[in-house]
Amino acid sequence: MAVTEYQERVYALLCQIPRGKVSSYAALSKALSSSPRAVGGALRRNPYAPEVPCHRIICADGSVGGFKGDAQDAPSKINQVEKLRLLKGEGVLFDEKLNLVDGNSWWDGFDTEENQMKKPWK
C-alpha cells in the first residue's frame, strides 16, 4: 500500500509518543497544522501498526476513541478491546466508562521541526 507524504508526517509524530503515554487527534493535528479528521484518516490506514503506535491516540476528552478504522462513536468491541489491551500493557488505564484514569499519561511534546520526517519503522 502506498503511503502519502501526509501519512508519513503523521506516523513520524506518532513515533514520538513514549510508551505509557497517549495523545489526542487534536494535539497531533495541531502539531501538523492539520485537522483531527485528517489525522484519523491517516491512522485508519496505518500499515505499520503496532510499531507505529496509533493505539496511543485517544479523544481530547480522555475517552478511548476508535481504532483500526472504527469511528469513535461506533467502535467495534473487538477493536476497542484490542486498543485497551495494548494501552493497558503500556500502563495506560481506562475506567469502566472507557475514560482515561490517569491524567499523567497525556503527551503533547511533539517536535514538529527536527524529528517530523524520521521514519523509525522503515
The pTM for the full model equals 0.83
How many domains are there within the chain?
A: 1
Domain assignment present for residue 32? The answer is yes
Domain assignment present for residue 34? The answer is yes
Q: What is the dihedral of CA 122, 92, 26, 46, to 10 degrees?
A: 30
How far is 118 from 6, CA to CA, in rounded Å? 13
Report the amino acid identity of residue 63: S
Q: State the pLDDT at residue 112.
A: 62
Please name the residue that has the C-alpha cell 467495534: 76
| Catalytic residue status for 59 | no
- Of the candidates 22, 28, 54, 87, the residue annotated as catalytic is 54
Domain assignment present for residue 66? The answer is yes
How far is 103 from 84, CA to CA, in rounded Å? 16
Q: Which domain holds residue 56?
A: 5-102
Domain assignment present for residue 11? The answer is yes
One digit per residue, the tens of pLDDT, for the chain of length 122 reads 689 999 999 999 999 999 999 999 999 999 999 999 899 999 988 999 889 999 999 988 888 887 665 555 555 566 788 889 999 999 999 998 888 998 788 888 887 655 555 555 55
Residue 25 sits in a domain whose CATH number is 1.10.10.10
Q: State the pLDDT at residue 50.
A: 87
Q: State the pLDDT at residue 76.
A: 58
